[in-house]
Amino acid sequence: MTATGPKAFIPDEGIAPDEFEPNLVGRYKLDKVFAYASWAATIIGLVVLAFLLISTFADGLPRLGSSFLTSFPSRNAGRAGIASALAGTVWLLLITAAFAFPIGVGTGIYLQEFATDSWFAKMVEVNISNLAAVPSIIYGLLGLMVFVRILEPITGGRSVLAGGLTLALLILPVIIVATRETLKAIPDSLRIAGMALGSTRWQVVRDHVLPLALPGILTGTILGLSRAIGETAPLIVIGAQTFVPFLPTGLRSSFSALPIQIFNWTSRPQEAFHANAAAASIVLLVVLVSMNAVAIYLRNRFQQNR
Protein backbone atom coordinates (compact mmCIF):
# COMPACT_ATOMS: atom_id res chain seq x y z
CA MET A 1 0.00 0.00 0.00
CA THR A 2 1.31 3.41 -0.98
CA ALA A 3 0.48 6.55 0.95
CA THR A 4 1.42 10.17 0.61
CA GLY A 5 1.73 13.04 3.07
CA PRO A 6 3.20 13.33 6.55
CA LYS A 7 1.23 10.35 7.93
CA ALA A 8 3.01 8.02 5.50
CA PHE A 9 6.11 7.93 7.80
CA ILE A 10 6.17 4.77 9.91
CA PRO A 11 8.88 4.93 12.65
CA ASP A 12 9.13 1.18 13.04
CA GLU A 13 7.78 -1.76 11.13
CA GLY A 14 4.58 -3.02 12.66
CA ILE A 15 3.80 0.24 14.55
CA ALA A 16 1.02 2.42 13.27
CA PRO A 17 1.68 6.18 13.05
CA ASP A 18 -0.96 6.92 15.68
CA GLU A 19 0.75 4.53 18.16
CA PHE A 20 4.21 6.14 17.95
CA GLU A 21 5.30 7.80 21.22
CA PRO A 22 8.15 10.32 20.80
CA ASN A 23 8.77 10.38 24.61
CA LEU A 24 10.49 13.78 24.48
CA VAL A 25 10.52 14.10 28.26
CA GLY A 26 12.45 10.85 28.63
CA ARG A 27 14.91 11.85 25.91
CA TYR A 28 15.58 15.19 27.56
CA LYS A 29 16.23 13.40 30.84
CA LEU A 30 18.74 11.10 29.15
CA ASP A 31 20.43 14.16 27.61
CA LYS A 32 20.80 15.70 31.05
CA VAL A 33 22.19 12.47 32.49
CA PHE A 34 24.75 12.28 29.69
CA ALA A 35 25.70 15.95 30.18
CA TYR A 36 26.18 15.44 33.93
CA ALA A 37 28.25 12.29 33.32
CA SER A 38 30.44 14.17 30.83
CA TRP A 39 31.00 17.02 33.27
CA ALA A 40 31.81 14.56 36.07
CA ALA A 41 34.36 12.73 33.90
CA THR A 42 35.96 16.03 32.90
CA ILE A 43 36.16 17.29 36.49
CA ILE A 44 37.63 14.00 37.74
CA GLY A 45 40.29 14.09 35.03
CA LEU A 46 41.19 17.70 35.82
CA VAL A 47 41.36 17.00 39.56
CA VAL A 48 43.68 14.03 39.04
CA LEU A 49 45.85 16.06 36.65
CA ALA A 50 46.00 18.97 39.10
CA PHE A 51 46.97 16.62 41.93
CA LEU A 52 49.77 15.08 39.86
CA LEU A 53 51.08 18.48 38.77
CA ILE A 54 50.96 19.93 42.27
CA SER A 55 52.75 16.95 43.80
CA THR A 56 55.37 16.94 41.03
CA PHE A 57 56.08 20.65 41.34
CA ALA A 58 56.15 20.46 45.14
CA ASP A 59 58.79 17.71 45.02
CA GLY A 60 60.80 19.00 42.09
CA LEU A 61 60.92 22.78 42.35
CA PRO A 62 63.32 22.86 45.34
CA ARG A 63 65.75 20.74 43.34
CA LEU A 64 65.68 22.83 40.16
CA GLY A 65 68.59 25.16 39.54
CA SER A 66 71.42 25.93 37.18
CA SER A 67 73.61 23.20 38.68
CA PHE A 68 70.87 20.62 38.10
CA LEU A 69 70.64 21.57 34.43
CA THR A 70 74.41 21.62 33.83
CA SER A 71 75.56 18.65 35.94
CA PHE A 72 75.95 15.08 34.75
CA PRO A 73 74.37 12.03 36.41
CA SER A 74 75.95 10.90 39.62
CA ARG A 75 75.54 8.27 42.32
CA ASN A 76 75.19 11.16 44.73
CA ALA A 77 71.67 12.52 44.37
CA GLY A 78 72.69 15.99 45.50
CA ARG A 79 75.28 16.32 42.70
CA ALA A 80 73.26 14.58 39.96
CA GLY A 81 71.96 16.56 37.00
CA ILE A 82 70.35 16.18 33.58
CA ALA A 83 72.90 17.79 31.26
CA SER A 84 73.53 14.66 29.18
CA ALA A 85 69.85 13.61 29.21
CA LEU A 86 68.68 17.06 28.13
CA ALA A 87 71.29 17.21 25.35
CA GLY A 88 70.31 13.71 24.23
CA THR A 89 66.64 14.75 24.08
CA VAL A 90 67.55 17.73 21.87
CA TRP A 91 69.60 15.49 19.58
CA LEU A 92 66.74 13.00 19.32
CA LEU A 93 64.29 15.79 18.58
CA LEU A 94 66.39 17.20 15.74
CA ILE A 95 67.10 13.79 14.17
CA THR A 96 63.46 12.72 14.43
CA ALA A 97 62.22 15.94 12.84
CA ALA A 98 64.85 15.79 10.07
CA PHE A 99 63.68 12.34 8.94
CA ALA A 100 59.99 12.23 9.88
CA PHE A 101 58.88 15.63 8.57
CA PRO A 102 59.90 15.38 4.88
CA ILE A 103 59.00 11.70 4.57
CA GLY A 104 55.67 12.06 6.38
CA VAL A 105 54.58 15.21 4.58
CA GLY A 106 55.69 13.85 1.20
CA THR A 107 53.79 10.61 1.76
CA GLY A 108 50.66 12.49 2.83
CA ILE A 109 50.81 14.75 -0.24
CA TYR A 110 51.27 11.79 -2.57
CA LEU A 111 48.40 9.76 -1.08
CA GLN A 112 45.99 12.69 -1.04
CA GLU A 113 46.87 14.57 -4.23
CA PHE A 114 48.52 12.16 -6.67
CA ALA A 115 47.73 8.55 -5.79
CA THR A 116 45.16 6.78 -7.95
CA ASP A 117 42.53 4.38 -6.69
CA SER A 118 44.87 1.39 -6.99
CA TRP A 119 45.57 -1.60 -4.80
CA PHE A 120 48.95 -0.17 -3.87
CA ALA A 121 47.48 3.09 -2.54
CA LYS A 122 44.80 1.19 -0.62
CA MET A 123 47.42 -1.12 0.88
CA VAL A 124 49.53 1.86 2.01
CA GLU A 125 46.50 3.58 3.55
CA VAL A 126 45.48 0.45 5.46
CA ASN A 127 49.02 -0.09 6.75
CA ILE A 128 49.33 3.54 7.87
CA SER A 129 46.04 3.28 9.77
CA ASN A 130 47.23 0.07 11.43
CA LEU A 131 50.65 1.49 12.29
CA ALA A 132 49.06 4.44 14.08
CA ALA A 133 47.65 1.99 16.66
CA VAL A 134 50.79 -0.12 17.14
CA PRO A 135 52.28 0.08 20.69
CA SER A 136 55.49 2.07 20.90
CA ILE A 137 57.51 -0.87 22.20
CA ILE A 138 56.96 -2.65 18.88
CA TYR A 139 58.72 0.24 17.15
CA GLY A 140 61.54 -0.23 19.65
CA LEU A 141 61.88 -3.88 18.64
CA LEU A 142 61.85 -2.88 14.97
CA GLY A 143 64.50 -0.22 15.60
CA LEU A 144 66.62 -2.75 17.51
CA MET A 145 66.59 -5.15 14.59
CA VAL A 146 66.95 -2.68 11.71
CA PHE A 147 68.88 0.33 12.99
CA VAL A 148 70.93 -1.22 15.80
CA ARG A 149 71.85 -4.59 14.26
CA ILE A 150 71.33 -4.62 10.49
CA LEU A 151 72.44 -1.02 9.89
CA GLU A 152 75.08 -0.99 12.61
CA PRO A 153 77.91 0.00 10.19
CA ILE A 154 75.93 3.16 9.39
CA THR A 155 74.25 4.04 12.68
CA GLY A 156 76.98 2.82 15.03
CA GLY A 157 74.66 0.45 16.88
CA ARG A 158 73.07 1.79 20.07
CA SER A 159 73.56 5.41 19.07
CA VAL A 160 71.57 8.61 19.10
CA LEU A 161 71.03 8.18 15.33
CA ALA A 162 69.38 4.80 15.87
CA GLY A 163 67.17 6.33 18.56
CA GLY A 164 66.14 9.24 16.36
CA LEU A 165 65.31 6.96 13.43
CA THR A 166 63.22 4.73 15.69
CA LEU A 167 61.24 7.69 17.00
CA ALA A 168 60.83 8.95 13.43
CA LEU A 169 59.14 5.66 12.53
CA LEU A 170 56.95 6.05 15.60
CA ILE A 171 55.48 9.40 14.57
CA LEU A 172 55.40 8.90 10.79
CA PRO A 173 51.76 7.67 10.80
CA VAL A 174 50.74 10.70 12.89
CA ILE A 175 52.35 13.15 10.46
CA ILE A 176 50.94 11.36 7.40
CA VAL A 177 47.39 11.33 8.79
CA ALA A 178 47.65 14.99 9.87
CA THR A 179 48.91 15.97 6.42
CA ARG A 180 46.13 14.12 4.62
CA GLU A 181 43.37 15.50 6.85
CA THR A 182 44.69 19.04 6.41
CA LEU A 183 44.84 18.67 2.63
CA LYS A 184 41.29 17.30 2.59
CA ALA A 185 40.09 20.51 4.21
CA ILE A 186 41.33 22.60 1.26
CA PRO A 187 38.41 23.16 -1.19
CA ASP A 188 38.64 21.33 -4.51
CA SER A 189 37.56 24.52 -6.26
CA LEU A 190 41.05 25.90 -5.65
CA ARG A 191 42.65 22.94 -7.41
CA ILE A 192 40.21 23.08 -10.31
CA ALA A 193 40.74 26.81 -10.77
CA GLY A 194 44.52 26.44 -10.80
CA MET A 195 44.49 23.64 -13.37
CA ALA A 196 41.93 25.52 -15.45
CA LEU A 197 44.47 28.32 -15.80
CA GLY A 198 47.06 25.91 -17.18
CA SER A 199 48.99 24.96 -14.06
CA THR A 200 50.06 21.39 -13.54
CA ARG A 201 48.81 19.42 -10.57
CA TRP A 202 52.19 19.75 -8.84
CA GLN A 203 52.26 23.52 -9.38
CA VAL A 204 48.78 23.85 -7.86
CA VAL A 205 49.79 21.77 -4.86
CA ARG A 206 53.12 23.55 -4.39
CA ASP A 207 51.96 27.14 -4.85
CA HIS A 208 48.39 27.11 -3.57
CA VAL A 209 47.31 24.00 -1.65
CA LEU A 210 50.43 23.36 0.42
CA PRO A 211 50.80 26.95 1.74
CA LEU A 212 47.19 26.86 2.96
CA ALA A 213 47.67 23.44 4.55
CA LEU A 214 51.03 24.24 6.15
CA PRO A 215 49.63 25.46 9.53
CA GLY A 216 47.79 22.21 10.12
CA ILE A 217 50.74 20.14 8.91
CA LEU A 218 53.15 21.93 11.25
CA THR A 219 50.75 21.56 14.15
CA GLY A 220 50.42 17.82 13.57
CA THR A 221 54.18 17.47 13.19
CA ILE A 222 55.01 19.27 16.43
CA LEU A 223 52.36 17.31 18.33
CA GLY A 224 53.91 14.12 16.96
CA LEU A 225 57.35 15.27 18.07
CA SER A 226 55.91 16.05 21.51
CA ARG A 227 54.79 12.45 21.74
CA ALA A 228 58.16 11.17 20.54
CA ILE A 229 60.29 12.93 23.14
CA GLY A 230 58.12 11.58 25.94
CA GLU A 231 58.50 7.95 24.88
CA THR A 232 60.56 5.63 27.06
CA ALA A 233 59.87 2.07 25.89
CA PRO A 234 61.45 2.32 22.39
CA LEU A 235 64.59 3.95 23.80
CA ILE A 236 64.98 1.27 26.46
CA VAL A 237 64.65 -1.48 23.85
CA ILE A 238 67.29 -0.03 21.51
CA GLY A 239 69.70 0.43 24.40
CA ALA A 240 69.66 4.04 25.56
CA GLN A 241 72.04 4.51 28.48
CA THR A 242 70.85 5.35 31.99
CA PHE A 243 74.25 6.75 33.05
CA VAL A 244 76.00 8.97 30.49
CA PRO A 245 78.57 11.35 32.05
CA PHE A 246 79.23 13.18 28.77
CA LEU A 247 77.40 15.05 26.02
CA PRO A 248 76.72 13.41 22.65
CA THR A 249 79.50 14.32 20.24
CA GLY A 250 78.02 12.94 17.03
CA LEU A 251 75.32 10.84 15.44
CA ARG A 252 77.08 7.59 16.40
CA SER A 253 77.55 8.59 20.04
CA SER A 254 75.95 6.89 23.02
CA PHE A 255 73.11 8.87 24.53
CA SER A 256 70.52 9.20 27.22
CA ALA A 257 67.22 11.10 27.30
CA LEU A 258 65.00 12.75 29.87
CA PRO A 259 62.41 9.91 29.97
CA ILE A 260 65.21 7.37 30.48
CA GLN A 261 66.78 9.46 33.26
CA ILE A 262 63.42 9.90 34.97
CA PHE A 263 62.77 6.17 34.74
CA ASN A 264 66.18 5.42 36.24
CA TRP A 265 65.73 7.80 39.18
CA THR A 266 62.19 6.69 40.01
CA SER A 267 63.36 3.05 40.20
CA ARG A 268 65.78 3.89 43.01
CA PRO A 269 64.66 3.62 46.64
CA GLN A 270 66.22 6.89 47.86
CA GLU A 271 63.81 9.82 48.23
CA ALA A 272 66.48 12.25 46.99
CA PHE A 273 66.49 10.54 43.59
CA HIS A 274 62.70 10.76 43.50
CA ALA A 275 63.02 14.52 43.94
CA ASN A 276 65.50 14.55 41.05
CA ALA A 277 62.97 12.62 38.95
CA ALA A 278 60.27 15.17 39.78
CA ALA A 279 62.60 18.03 38.80
CA ALA A 280 63.46 16.30 35.52
CA SER A 281 59.74 15.78 34.89
CA ILE A 282 59.20 19.52 35.28
CA VAL A 283 61.91 20.20 32.69
CA LEU A 284 60.30 17.70 30.32
CA LEU A 285 56.90 19.35 30.84
CA VAL A 286 58.42 22.74 30.05
CA VAL A 287 59.88 21.33 26.82
CA LEU A 288 56.50 19.84 25.83
CA VAL A 289 54.59 23.03 26.62
CA SER A 290 57.15 25.07 24.69
CA MET A 291 56.73 22.83 21.63
CA ASN A 292 52.95 23.12 21.81
CA ALA A 293 53.28 26.90 22.13
CA VAL A 294 55.45 26.92 19.01
CA ALA A 295 52.78 24.92 17.18
CA ILE A 296 50.08 27.41 18.18
CA TYR A 297 52.26 30.36 17.18
CA LEU A 298 53.09 28.90 13.76
CA ARG A 299 49.46 28.03 13.11
CA ASN A 300 48.28 31.54 13.95
CA ARG A 301 51.14 33.12 12.01
CA PHE A 302 50.41 31.22 8.82
CA GLN A 303 46.66 31.71 9.16
CA GLN A 304 47.19 35.48 9.33
CA ASN A 305 49.27 35.36 6.14
CA ARG A 306 46.55 33.64 4.12
Residue 62 burial by CB count (10 A; 0-12/13-18/19+): exposed, middle or buried? exposed
Quick one: which of 112, 107, 109 has its CA closest to 171?
A: 107
- pLDDT (tens digit per residue) in 249-290: 888 888 888 888 888 888 888 888 888 889 999 998 888 888
pLDDT at 113 over 50: yes
- pLDDT (tens digit per residue) in 213-225: 888 888 888 888 8
User: Residue 17's pLDDT is what?
Assistant: 56
Write the single-letter amino acid at 52. L
User: Residue 127's pLDDT is what?
Assistant: 83
Q: Write b or e for each residue in 167-180: b if 16 or more Cβ atoms lie within 10 A of its Cβ, otherwise e.
A: bbbbbbbbbbbbbb
φ/ψ region of 72 (left if φ > 0, alpha if ψ in -120 to 50, else beta) reads beta
pTM score: 0.80
- pLDDT (tens digit per residue) in 175-195: 998 898 889 888 888 888 888
Neighbours of 288 (CB within 10 A): 16
Q: Return the DSSP state at 21.
A: -
What's the CATH architecture for 66-304?
Orthogonal Bundle (1.10)
Quick one: which of 252, 237, 62 has its CA closest to 137?
A: 237
